[in-house]
Amino acid sequence: MAVLAGLALGCVLGTPASATDVPPTSYSPIGLPVYSVATSAIDDTYIDPGAPTVAQGQSPVLYAGDEVADGRRAFVKFTTPALPANASNVSLFLVLSQVGGGATGPLKVYGASSDWSGSMLTAASAPQLGPLHGRAPSEESGFSTSIMVSGVDLVPGQDLSFAISATLGGPGAIGLASLDNSDPTLRPQLLITYLVPPDCSASSLLVPSCGAWFGSTANLVGADRSQTDAVARQETELGRRLDIVHVYHSLDQDWPTPDEVSLVSDPANPRLLMVNWKPENGSSWAQVAAGSSDAWIDTVAARIVSRLGTAPFFLTIHHEPENDLHGPGSGYTPADYVAMYRHVVARLRADGVSRAVMVWDVMGFPGWGDQGLYDQLYPGDDVVDWIGYDPYSHAGEPLTVFADRPGKVFPGFYTWATANHAGKPLMLAEFGVESAATSDRTAVFSTLADDARSLPAIKAFIYFNHAPDGATNGYDFSFDSNADVLVAARGAFTDPYFQH
């Protein structure tokens, strides 16, 4: 795949450039329109070692000879066109037509310096061959071929040159139409195809109008000294910006931290926070609901308002409450949790925290659903904006399994949530992929984007990028500790479905 230098995918995607003012040429397997732009050569020629000082720039035929036994080599130059800033999945093809020479065989396309002109280039002054960028299979005489060219940086407005030779196994050359050919349909062309994701926006509750958000935890690894370092490292590894940065706070921690404020206020790379907050600060759920932590809640609310201003963010109150339930009178019953959650939300709103998008987040284990706990723990539609779930894939289970795994009576999270709370956006607020077999992990990532499309109510996917430790029960959920897993994860999370 060719790379467009400076390619950026924005949060709100714009209108395609003039190259896409015509209808798309086709549709991709993921349903996005495929656009194409073709540009003609601005110069071409060939060199002939048998005539080392002769310039062949006026020839209607370009000869690409056997690299060893012949030595003739064609050169073609283009000016790179501009593409839309939000173009993705960019592919590059060199289109050539055989018009003579008689020989047939595979063509090879190399990079070359653009510091030449067809009227002056000779075998004696020819530039050195650059890297091999593509090859065409053996063709019948009279072929027209589109050679996919990879590893090329496309810089709009700059010249791009290729050198073309052949592998024929003996003397001879393939004759290719030049830009002086009388038939303009046979002249060399550079064809670029690309996708343009649809215009996407987010509602006041941060629900994207297309696709889904992608985010990750910001755990420090190696040389990381801050969450900002961790986010920058992950974004470099994945080749994309994180839409959401997932952080955790409890007790008397001072948040939003300077790192968190910096991450959400970066104008070049706008991100959202997903904050898991346990506001009890030493009190039970029942005590919080009765007002014991109001002063602490007010302090946190003042920090949110002063540090984040009008920036929206996701906030969940005591995620995975199932793990902390106790019996009647303990202060930790499902009813106590619901009362605590509702009280905290009401207090925050009264304190002026108006941009917190509330997420109710439960454990990704169907056994809790079998006990009817999700219904008992749900705080109410008026204080829940999104419904979150924390499932994990083991031993190669795809998203369609681990996001909707049924229990004995529980139908599965996705089925339950869409049936009982229709219209509420869902998120995988924590999910991870682990297996002793690397092939299992890469297989899950390879189908993740397509599987996500089959679960359209899930509007956010937040990865738990964590190496094995006590927090993971020894499982390795990191996507960046194994080169093959990272390649597969990068492919999944740079899919247009997750681009905003």
Taking the whole predicted model, whether its pTM rises above 0.85 is answered as: no
What is the pLDDT, as a whole number, of residue 32?
Answer: 57
* Spatial strand order in the sheet of 159-166: 43-47, 73-79, 159-166, 107-112, 132-136
**Rounded distance between C-alpha atoms, residue 98 and residue 79, angstroms:** 23
In a domain, 206, yes or no: no
Tell me what pLDDT residue 269 has.
Answer: 80
What would the two tokens of residue 297 be? 């809640």
411 and 319 in a common domain: yes
158 and 18 co-located in one domain: yes
Q: Judge whether 328 lies within some domain.
A: yes
Q: Please give the pLDDT value at position 3.
A: 29
Q: What is the pLDDT of residues 16-28, one digit of tens each?
A: 333 334 445 554 4
Percentage, residues of the chain above pLDDT 70? 91
Identify whether residues 316 and 435 lie together within a single domain. yes
Rounded average pLDDT over 488-492: 93
| Residue, of 2 and 436, whose pLDDT is higher | 436
Domain that holds residue 325: 213-498
Backbone angles phi, psi at 119, to 5 degrees: -75, -10
pLDDT digits (tens, 9 = 90+) for 331-350: 999 999 999 999 999 999 99
At 7 the pLDDT is 23
Residue 42 has pLDDT above 60, yes or no: yes
- Domain-embedded: residue 202: no
Number of domains within the chain:
2
Distance separating alpha carbons of residues 22 and 447, to the nearest angstrom? 32
Question: In this structure, are 134 and 226 located in the same domain?
Answer: no
Same domain as 400, residue 320: yes
Q: Which helix (H) or strand (E) holds 89?
A: strand 88-100
Q: Which of 78-87, 458-467, 468-477 has the lowest mean pLDDT?
A: 468-477
Residue 39 shares a structural domain with residue 116: yes
Residues 10 and 62 in one domain: yes
| Per-residue model confidence as pLDDT tens digits over 246-256 | 999 987 889 99
Q: Tokens 């056997």 correspond to what residue? A: 66
User: What band does 100 get if pLDDT is binned at 50, 70 and 90?
Assistant: confident
The rounded mean pLDDT for the chain is: 88
pLDDT tens string 105-129: 789 999 999 999 999 999 999 999 9
Asked whether residue 270 is assigned to any structural domain, the reply reads yes
Single-letter amino acid code for the residue at 171: P
Q: Measured between alpha carbons, how far apart are the two ends of the chain, in Å?
A: 21
**Mean pLDDT of all residues in 171-188:** 92
CATH number of the domain encompassing residue 84: 2.60.120
pLDDT computed for residue 170 by the predictor: 86
Q: 219 and 115: one domain?
A: no
